[in-house]
């Protein structure tokens, strides 16, 4: 059995990164799914790359704040450009998203290879697959008493601190602006009539998505971020149409998938991020097939739109 120091150095940081990333993604992912904008999460997860590189070039550091600001700016621009192309070219939103995120992602790759000159410490493996196994507590405490000292926690992995801050930010925004986010998502006309700016709420959600994505980038990679944004909210939506319940169930599913996925990865000695993705897929399959009201339900003569029922 591994010692306490080994567990704190290896297992605890990796598991904490997976849990915090999945919870943060589930909170914003619920609104993306209900607004039928799941692809926007995929688009932003790829499109924020030039913002990450730009933040590094302007600040000359890989500290979190410049990276967050650059990614948030590009995330909002992604939503703005998608809307502009959708209206100007009169093409479907999915096609507009595809154009925007592929172009921005390609621009980010060029910036990373050229302007950054390799100094940004990002590579394809980090961007796509994540580096969960590299989230280590270099100087963990060697006893239970040492856990409660500031010197010990000052060396805690910064990725986990960033993810914890982002999770608290997402929860705070949803709690403070719950009515505004709900009305602007389900009935923009009513939101405007009550003095709520639905466009502002839309871009606030895009900003939160961008910040969440970049916080999870280094730990879990863009591929798993997309799964974390979509799968837990979708599985929760199969069980309930109440927004508060859906948020809580989505976070529970995200927690279960992260813990079980990491446990399975340790057991069979494989990539933790990939195994969490498999756990998310298995969770959605079980919910869809076995839970009453899932994919095995008999179709009704008339099915109401999900967003309308969720708003009631």
Domain containing residue 227: CATH number: 1.10.3470.10
Residue 73 belongs to domain spanning:
4-134+157-295+305-311
Lowest-pLDDT range, 32-36, 47-51, 255-259? 47-51
Q: What is the pLDDT of residues 5-48, one digit of tens each?
A: 455 556 677 788 889 999 999 999 999 888 888 777 777 777 77
- Does residue 140 sit within a domain? no
Bigger pLDDT: 149 vs 285: 285
Residue 70 has a pLDDT of 79
Sign of CA dihedral 284, 288, 290, 294: positive
Question: What is the average pLDDT across 97-122?
Answer: 72
Count of CB atoms situated within 10 Å of the CB of 306: 14
- Does residue 147 sit within a domain? no
Residue 37 has a pLDDT of 80
- Does residue 149 sit within a domain? no
- Does residue 144 sit within a domain? no
> Per-residue confidence at 204, pLDDT binned at 50, 70, 90?
confident
CA distance 206 to 214: 12
- Does residue 67 sit within a domain? yes
- Does residue 130 sit within a domain? yes
Residue 265 has a pLDDT of 83
- Does residue 41 sit within a domain? yes
> What total of structural domains would you count in the chain?
1
Q: What is the mean pLDDT of the chain?
A: 77
> Per-residue confidence at 147, pLDDT binned at 50, 70, 90?
low
Residue 304 has a pLDDT of 44
Residue 136 has pLDDT above 70, yes or no: no
- Does residue 139 sit within a domain? no
Lowest-pLDDT range, 66-70, 119-123, 224-228? 119-123
CA distance 23 to 65: 21
CA distance 136 to 217: 16
């Amino acid at each position: 059995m591994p010692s306490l120091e080994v567990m704190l150095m290896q297992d605890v940081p990796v598991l904490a990164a997976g849990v915090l990333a999945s919870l943060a993604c589930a909170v914003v992912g619920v609104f993306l799914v209900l607004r039928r904008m799941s692809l926007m999460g995929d688009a932003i997860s790829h499109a924020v790359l030039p913002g990450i590189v730009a933040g590094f070039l302007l600040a000359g550091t890989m500290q979190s704040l410049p990276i967050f600001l650059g990614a948030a700016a590009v995330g909002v621009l992604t939503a703005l450009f998608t809307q502009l192309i959708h209206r100007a070219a009169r093409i479907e939103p999915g096609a507009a998203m595809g154009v925007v995120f592929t172009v921005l992602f390609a621009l980010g790759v060029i910036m990373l290879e050229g302007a950054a000159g390799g100094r940004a410490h990002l590579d394809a493996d980090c961007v796509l697959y994540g580096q969960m196994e590299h989230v280590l507590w270099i100087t963990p405490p060697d006893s239970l008493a040492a856990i409660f000292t500031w010197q010990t926690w000052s060396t805690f992995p910064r990725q986990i601190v960033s993810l914890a801050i982002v999770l608290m930010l997402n929860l705070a925004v949803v709690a403070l602006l719950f009515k505004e986010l709900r009305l602007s998502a389900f009935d923009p006309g009513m939101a405007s009539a009550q003095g709520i700016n639905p466009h502002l709420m839309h871009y606030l959600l895009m900003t939160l998505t961008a910040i969440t994505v970049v916080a999870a980038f280094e730990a879990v990679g863009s591929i798993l971020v997309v799964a974390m944004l979509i799968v837990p909210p979708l599985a929760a939506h199969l069980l309930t149409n109440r927004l508060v319940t859906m948020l809580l169930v989505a976070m529970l599913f995200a927690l279960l998938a992260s813990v079980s996925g990491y446990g399975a990865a340790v057991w069979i000695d494989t990539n933790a991020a990939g195994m969490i993705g498999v756990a998310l897929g298995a969770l959605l399959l079980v919910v869809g097939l076995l839970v009453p009201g899932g994919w095995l339900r008999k179709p009704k003569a008339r099915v109401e739109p999900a967003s309308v029922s969720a708003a009631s």
